Structure 1
Amino acid sequence: MFTDSHCHLNFPELSGNLPAVRAAMAEAGVTRALCISTTMEEFPEVHDLARTYDNFWASVGVHPDSEDVHEPSEDELVRAAGLDRVVAIGETGLDYYQMEERKGGRSIADMEWQRQRFRTHIRAARRVGMPLVIHTRAASDDTLAILREEGEGIGAACAGGVFHCFTETREVARAALDMGFYISLSGIVTFKSARELHEVSRMIPDDRLLIETDSPYLAPVPFRGKTNSPAYVPYVAARLAELRGTSVEHIAKLTSANFTRLFPKVASW
């Protein structure tokens, strides 16, 4: 039994062919998936997926790189988090990747809107005791600093969260683990060039590891460059089994158990 802890099934690459996507999941033994919101505008679509299918759940949040979209207040996030089958806040975080090229030559100082959005999500998650789904890219120092400033962490009267699609260094992984967060690995771990990520994959404790596709993006080898799907999450598990010297079955079992532990509302339905 595999669990895809992060996918975007409402995106057009997958939403128009959902029966086939679900059939492929079933054939591959992928029994559960968390459908992730990236804007408040798309949240109703994401939530509808979770309400329609009993093995899907939803998050609510705004991706750090989403611009010209509705900016939610804490209260809006809290209300949405209280809906049936919503189990997480996010994805949220910081993304400074190719900042100058993609954002008109802005400096890090100009990205204060991202940092404020991140704080809003953290505070909403603390209010409802719900885990965060964290995206960080080329911004790990600020991501960790804000989490520390906001007092986020399993030991801070909240539900922690996960650094999804992790691609950072061992040092960042250690800092995230020390703060009580889980780490989720995607198809990138199957790439030969991802040598440092291979090392990171070996250091994550069994009880903090998750797997994901981030579909429709980042398809694992041997599907690299094609549209990704939750049905491909076993390939992530297989590569992790090789790297960690264990079986695919063990990775499937522990990551599914970790998913339920991190997102306890899953067990309520």
Structure 2
Amino acid sequence: MIIGSLNPIALQFGPFTIRWYGLIIVTGVIVAYAMVQREAKRQHIDSELFDDLILWGLPVGIISARIYYVVFEWSSYRNNPAEIIAIWHGGIAIYGGLIGGFLVAILVARKHHVSLWQMLDVLAPAVLMAQSIGRWGNFMNQEAHGAVTTLAFLRGLHLPDFIIRQMWIDGAYRQPTFLYESLWSLTGVILFLALRHRKQLFRRGELFLAYLIWYGTGRMFIEGMRTDSLYLIGDIRVSQVLSVILVITAIVLIVVRRRHNVEWADLAE
């Protein structure tokens, strides 16, 4: 047996606590921002656009991620409304953050008079990278895990001991679903970066739609393995339903836009 979880607190100064979760999320944002700035320069897009997006998108994304979580966990909050703002106790949802960020992207694109599709194409790989990194914050908090499993199973995955130790939760070893999603997202990043500058492969907006298909497909299957899902009705998981909707919508949009000869993206310049 390998037991001994990592401390979720990175630093503590008197009453002030800095958690690994927050540091990892910030790291994901910084890496994503650097990726976006590099691609924006390649496509000759004013970097101020993405500065505005980070300035407004990050707080709105966090708030919308919290609202999303609270709405689907209302039974846990209706009798204790003070906990609604206690985000440091956990409880934010990626899809909620993506919805809020998308709405901000629409407003920023209009303000700067640029193509929303082009902006979303620039953002797609970077957002997926941030999601891949962010899942390690869940790892430090011992959340976003799957069902009970065995030490033999985890060792069979050839995981390092520090991951196996962290998967000892509530008296049992758990499936490292955080890792499955992190690796799935990272694989998507690698594919998108390798392919997005191929001539006449993606039309404008299709890299973003490919992101929806890729992430939605992976999330749909991995969500089914988790034990801390948000539920819509009965055993119907919110994230699985939303994933299916996003995947289908993205596929339909690609087909419809191609039939109407939507312009090719100038990503290969």
TM-score using structure 2 length? 0.28
Structure with the greater alpha carbon radius of gyration: 2
Structure showing the higher strand proportion among its residues: 1
TM-score using structure 1 length? 0.28
